[in-house]
Amino acid sequence: MDQYQKILTKYWGYAHFRPLQHDIIRSVGEGHDTLALMPTGGGKSITFQVPALANEGICIVVTPLIALMKDQVENLKARKIKAVAIYSGMTRHEIDVTLENCVHDANMKFLYCSPERLGTELFRTRVRQMNVNLLAIDEAHCISQWGYDFRPSYLKIAEVRQLLPDVPVLAVTATATSRVIDDIQEKLGFPQKNVFRKSFERKNLVYLVREVEDKQKHLIKIAQRLTGTGVVYVRNRLHTKELSLFLNQQGITADYYHAGLTSAERDFKQNQWKKGAIRIMVSTNAFGMGIDKADVRFVVHMDLPDTLEAYFQEAGRGGRDEKQAFAILLYHPGDRNKLERRIDATFPEIDEIKRVYEALGNFFQLPVGGGKGLGFDFEISAFVKAYKFNILTVYNSLKLLQQSGYLELSEEVDNPSRIIFTVTRDDLYKYQVANAAEDAFIKLLLRSYSGMFTEYRPIDEGDLARKTNAKPEIITAFLIKLGRDKIINYIPRKKVPQIFYIEERLPTVSLLFTREKYQDRKNLYSEKIFAVVDYATRKKCRSQQLLNYFGDNQATRCGVCDVCTERNKLDLSKMEFDLVVEAIKAALQKQPLNLEQLVDAIKQPNEKAIKVIQWLLDNQKLHRDDSLLLHWKKAETE
């Protein structure tokens, strides 16, 4: 058993690595910059956590997903591994204390960091003093302008590398096209290409597209025909609640989930679903990050997703136990128009984006030239009300400002209250002797929570109130009093997104939104939208379409999706079917023919030929004109 295997067994209890994990870990351990492509549920975090534990020093993990980083930090702590995180929503003092601990605590093994923090002087000063053994880049596709979630703050990683010249990089992602794979390595400064990829093929996952009029009615059929637990994805928060209520009314236990819920609500719902107390979770795309339930038997999308990358990740949460599971997309012809309309909605006019940016600076009372490196709590509803904007225009304008590198809009995170003692134990004792009224409360704090002299610790005012049979307001008053007396720093709980200024506030004339760059981004988004529409409407093996999209041009038909199943009814082997199709294609590319001429031209048994021709017509791969001549559709090459 090698060193890495011992660490895996000691901390995670696994006897063996999953395929490819060990190869990636060895590559990193030998000091090579490495890119790992592993589908959702493939165990990406293990590939940087194990080699980091094998060496002295700390691993810096860059990720844009605050909820996921908090989840991973808690999981590491549960395994007695020291880990911390810095992200939007934390005060400067909190971040300073956290980074200081990473410098001086030799047992600290992981620092999770959101990308916008990389460019701050505070981070760069501290990182020079750290003993860093590995730089791990999660969601690495975010560094590429061709990726589906490009974030310019990821480009700061190359600058951080210059501060850590001998530290290897491990970049991991679940989804990347060939162009993005090359771009990631170039942007991160890999000396040579070094890619490990696990096949994106999921042989146990059956991809189905169902064109239906009544999606809710069809969802009931799915839940009745399939056994086991499931996830149903919808586009908006209100629909999660409505659909879960509908399922319960039909006798199917369900609950709803979205980012607007409190941490306690989300944890409760997740646990109820994990243990099988509820069968179906109806959710926005907020559900699934860090949730590793192996026996999900079906994942249903009620709406078309924006990208195939997003669809592949969400659908991939089914069947992680390698047993058969179903990824089902419910489609209505009207969905195509909705998705296409989203292109214009996602790209407000440049003048409108500049108006939002200007109003944002005024909203925060931020002077031109100020604000770089500062974060502000952001209630979008208050902003929209104050400046009479359309909420969708504001949200999409902020996303475009983010993609242009001016600011970051963080996700909504439920941050609990936190405290840290700002005095020594001796000074605290003197304060307790002099302030009898606060003495009992301080003792309660010290009994309830540990480590408060060296780091900020989350506290629960409600729990403290229950322990003392006091009202929560009394507990809050004590905390405020201790803060006023400079005994503690007290940060009350809050649950809002943040705007983080990567650059200082600029006059709107200085915002660089060139028409060419704006149009390039819009075109890229349109390409991704049309790829989703193509997947839903094209009569080609669903698995093969997804694999082709991610650069696997050797992928064969899966044999089990809705398209393949329909073709299988022809009672022809794959070889027979392909031979007839190639013959039909070759004949019709020379000239259009009527049915009798085509059957004669392809020199295949009449019965087989007619079956395949009819299938091609039914699946819109052949076109019959007004003269009854058959044409091969040039857009369809398979």
Lookup: tokens for 2: 């090698």
- Domain check: are 438 and 576 in the same one? no
DSSP H/E element including 628: none
Structure confidence at residue 637 (pLDDT): 39
All residues at 6 or more sequence positions from 68 whose CB lies less than 8 Å from its CB, including other chains:
138, 289, 290
Per-residue pLDDT tens for 528-578? 999 999 999 988 899 999 999 998 888 888 989 999 888 777 777 777 888
Q: Specify the DSSP class assigned to residue 139.
A: S
Please check whether residue 528 lies inside any domain of the structure. no
**Statement to judge: residues 49 and 176 lie in one domain:** yes
Per the model's pLDDT, the better-predicted residue between 456 and 411 turns out to be 456
- Mean pLDDT across the stretch 440-468? 93
603-630: average pLDDT: 82
Give the pLDDT score at 634: 65
Assigned domain for 535 exists: no
Given this model, what pLDDT does residue 129 score?
A: 95
State the pLDDT confidence band at 1, using cuts at 50, 70 and 90.
low
Tell whether 237 and 327 lie within a shared domain. yes
Q: Quick check: 123 and 113 in contact, CB under 8 A? A: yes
DSSP notation for 535-570: HHH--S-HHHHHHHHTT-TT----S-SHHHHHHHTT
471 and 574 both lie in a single domain: no
Residue 31's pLDDT is 94
Average pLDDT over residues 478-491: 95
Same domain as 501, residue 381: yes
Residue 103 lies in a domain: yes
Six-digit token string for 326: 């179903």
pLDDT value of residue 638: 42
- Interstrand relation of 622-624 and 630-632 (parallel, antiparallel or unpaired): antiparallel
Residue 191 pLDDT: 94
Sequence-separated (6 or more) residues with CB below 8 Å from residue 492:
417, 476
Tokens of 74: 């808690």
Residues 237 and 249 placed together within one structural domain of the fold: yes
598 vs 483: which has the higher pLDDT: 483
Same domain, 374 and 270: no
Has residue 530 been placed in a domain?
no
Query: What's the confidence (pLDDT) of residue 136?
Result: 97
| pLDDT above 80 (res 146) | yes
The stretch 471-481 carries a mean pLDDT of 93
Total of domains in the chain:
5
- Which residue, 307, 331, 355, sits at the end of a domain? 331
The CATH number linked to 508 is 1.10.10.10
**pLDDT tens-digit readout, 30-88:** 999 999 998 776 788 999 999 999 999 999 999 988 878 888 999 999 999 999 999 87
Banded pLDDT at 265 (limits 50, 70, 90): confident
Identify the CATH number of the domain in which residue 597 sits. Answer: 1.10.10
Q: How far apart are CA 393 and CA 389, in angstroms?
A: 7
- Residue range 465-481: mean pLDDT, rounded: 93
Q: Do 559 and 448 have their domain in common?
A: no
Q: Are 498 and 410 in contact (CB under 8 A)?
A: yes
Residue 308: inside a domain: yes
pLDDT score of 597: 87
pLDDT band at 290 (very low <50, low <70, confident <90, very high): low
Q: What CATH code is carried by the domain that includes residue 48? A: 3.40.50.300
Sign of the torsion angle spanned by Cα atoms 115, 128, 422, 466: positive
Same domain, 558 and 443: no
Residues spanned by the domain of 359: 340-413+496-521
Domain boundary among 144, 172, 197: 197
Last residue of a domain, one of 178, 197, 216: 197
Taking the model in full, what pTM does it have?
Answer: 0.82
149 and 284 in a single domain? The answer is: no
Mean pLDDT of the chain: 90
Distance CA 337, CA 17 (A): 45
Of all helices (H) and strands (E), which one includes residue 630?
strand 630-632
Residue 532 covered by a domain: no
Q: Assess if residue 236 is contained within a domain.
A: yes
Alpha-carbon span 266 to 258, nearest angstrom: 8
CA neighbor of 417 nearest in space, from 497, 494, 493: 493
Does 372 fall in a domain? yes
User: Do 27 and 175 sit in the same domain of this protein?
Assistant: yes
- Using a pLDDT cut of 90, give the percent of the chain over it: 62
Q: Which residues pair with 326 in a beta bridge?
A: 206, 298
Query: Within this chain, do residues 451 and 577 fall inside the same structural domain, yes or no?
Result: no
